[in-house]
Structure 1
């Protein structure tokens, strides 16, 4: 009997060993499951640095063999290369910054060598970059930066490009950038989007099909009283309205917050909608701190929007949004939105999502992508394609379950975006 028990245990150990070997070899795909933060006694959540929110949407590593590799957020090589880039950018404070005009042809010649291309989710103004990187003076760039190219060496070169393809260049003298390598980590080869499509700058898409999960999503688990208590010092002084959809409204007559059963939150303070202008970096910092105090940050987030509206002359209000990422891909719609002036936050909308598993897999391929873009006929006369990338988009299943499905996003130089199915057809 004892020998039989030993044999069974040995067999189980062998099976477990084989399974573990498959896991280590990468044959068993990891489950895309996130655990929403547990409900506690405070709605104060995890913090996030402003610099992390400005990180690129993806990187393209060019080699001297004229091959290019796309690297998505969430991977170790992305973090390592982005940190190298930040080190160089932060050392620019000791440089005599002097820019010179450049051209797309010079950019493309530089990318034929070893170089790191940073493609940002949102074209960034120098009024944001300077304070975040602690520059003593404003870079005073003529336009927002959509892409950046770092060419390593003892005297590195930095190229900046706008959404429309204008280029300027910085030559560095007291900063060194070492060689950029992936250290034999898995990578995705990419190819250029081909003619006859008009592009403002070379657009890179994955050359190989990518197997991506369709994600099942849920909202946040929250206690409505705790959420409301983060906005009002004394909830006993607020009026409460229970709605049929399970939401509860709390109001003190000047401000109001609605909390839904799925964790979504909407806060309004109409009295502070407009005020005098704030520097954009300061407005962004205030938005970041406000979100930290009222729910915190999901794991991977980027800034896709920072704009202003002026209801009256001399008044200004900022509209700031943030998009979540999964598997290195952004969600097409923002899940965090803040509107503020120098007088405070006027509106806060929060509909953060968490993955609770995979609903299946989709093979995203760039084969025939040029023809799909042409047949969609969405490009207006005179406009050009600025970027094409994979993104997640919401799609409800038959039982109203929220699913995220990978699609192609096509971004134009004029700032328009339209979507195409990753496996064929038009999204809208």
Structure 2
């Protein structure tokens, strides 16, 4: 019996010696075999296709009336599907004058938040190479469609035959759309202001009330594992303010107690190659899927290509993307967009996210003041240099006053936007100036 025990002990010692010797000579096994879960990359939600990233505002002008369907309104998808027939049936476009401003006839206008190739929606190969910001169809000239191209300006394309029911379907679809009125140039002139493009105002005062504000709650462990493929190499640092920093020495993630997310990867800058719009949009969707998700209330607002030169005069490219949040049919604005990111062909450079959610109302709903009263308040605040910047948009919104997004209540406001990307915020019920947003 003793001999058997000695034999087993000796065998165990031999096996241990062989194992330790192999580790000394060849190192530890690969991390996948030690911690396979640490290499599992997680995602948040679905990958948003490009065709659903850039959604136009749809406008129908008839006899001086404007009806508008925003991308977040319930019937937008079905109406936009009908409008896309203009793209499908377009022939080769040619340079043209801008479409005439219809006053008595019917004018259909699609306004895109960023310039985009119409081929995103299938369309004809005859439109390859275009990146459009606007698309216009006129009842007075129904055999043509106008496109505003980012490089060539206005183009006009002949249409193949549309169905007889198409025009009726479009008019019917807009029958329940919100009614808007055109801001006359004379009104602006009296205030010493000018406009860039058409400024549309709601025909009826929006009826809103202040709402409580909540914070997005992301799974911290899931977010870390989605960004860092090998979590075994990641260090965690807890700051005094409760924020957590995660870094692998090349990139860093910072998670604040109030829900804000910051990520940076300096090694992705500068970029080495230019990307076209569609690949840049695909990258945007991929980054959001990895870093918190593309919630239904988030809409693409800007996609800007940034160029820079080094001493060698070689050009480097990066892309700046920002989003807006629309909840309960109304935009939520603050000093910072809910999601903002910058990336190059080498990867993401910077990402900042603080998504807030509007919950219950805290007061009775009341009509907002007239937007012209809000505009007059802003005009009194501007000096002559400021008035040289053209007005681009006036819209109702909810406003988070705190720059850090710590406000608990968001009041309704009027936002007055100028073409230098500066916006004035006027309280929607008292008419008091609240802030400038840059």
TM-score range normalised by the length of the shorter chain: 0.7 to 0.9
For structure 1, the 5+ residue unaligned runs are: 1-40
Q: Does the Cα contact within 8 Å between 1:208 and 1:365 map onto a contact in 2?
A: no
Cα separation, 2, equivalents of 1:403 and 1:159? 44
Distance 1:311 1:272, change over 3 A: farther
User: Aligned residue for 2:8?
Assistant: none
Length, aligned pairs only: 370
User: Aligned residue for 2:399?
Assistant: 393
* Pairing partner for 1:342 from 342, 345, 362: 345
More deviation in 248-257 or 321-330? 321-330
User: Aligned residue for 1:320?
Assistant: 321
More deviation in 192-201 or 248-257? 192-201
1:161 CA displacement: 5.8
Cα separation, 1, equivalents of 2:252 and 2:416? 38
Q: Does the Cα contact within 8 Å between 1:376 and 1:426 map onto a contact in 2?
A: no
Larger RCO: 1 or 2 (CA < 8 Å, sep 6+): 1
User: Aligned residue for 2:86?
Assistant: 88
Cα separation, 1, equivalents of 2:71 and 2:329? 5
1:326 CA displacement: 1.6
Please list, as runs of the form range in 1=range in 2, the aligned pairs for 1:11-410 lying within 5 A after superposition.
42-56=42-56, 58-63=57-62, 65-89=63-87, 91-92=88-89, 95-102=91-98, 106=100, 108-109=101-102, 112-120=104-112, 122=113, 124-125=114-115, 128-130=116-118, 132-133=120-121, 136=125, 138-140=128-130, 145=133, 147-151=134-138, 155-160=142-147, 169-175=156-162, 177-179=166-168, 180-182=170-172, 186-194=176-184, 195-197=186-188, 198-276=194-272, 277-307=274-304, 308-310=306-308, 312=310, 313-332=314-333, 333-360=336-363, 361-366=365-370, 368-369=372-373, 370-377=375-382, 380=386, 382-395=388-401, 401-410=407-416
Query: Secondary structure at the residue paired with 1:209?
Result: coil
Q: Does the Cα contact within 8 Å between 2:227 and 2:290 map onto a contact in 1?
A: no
For structure 2, the 5+ residue unaligned runs are: 1-40, 189-193
Query: Secondary structure at the residue paired with 1:200?
Result: coil
1:367 CA displacement: 5.4
Q: Does the Cα contact within 8 Å between 1:102 and 1:167 map onto a contact in 2?
A: yes
Cα separation, 2, equivalents of 1:205 and 1:47? 35
Q: Deviations over 1:36-63 (max 9, x none)?
A: xxxxx9442233222322113x433222
Distance 1:80 1:406, change over 3 A: farther
**Aligned-residue RMSD, C-alpha:** 3.2
Q: Deviations over 1:45-88 (max 9, x none)?
A: 233222322113x433222x432223334333333222222343
Query: Secondary structure at the residue paired with 1:112?
Result: coil
Query: Secondary structure at the residue paired with 1:196?
Result: helix
1:228 CA displacement: 0.4
1:270 CA displacement: 0.9
State the structure with more CA Rg: 2
Q: Does the Cα contact within 8 Å between 2:117 and 2:130 map onto a contact in 1?
A: no
TM-score scaled to structure 2, two decimals?
Answer: 0.74
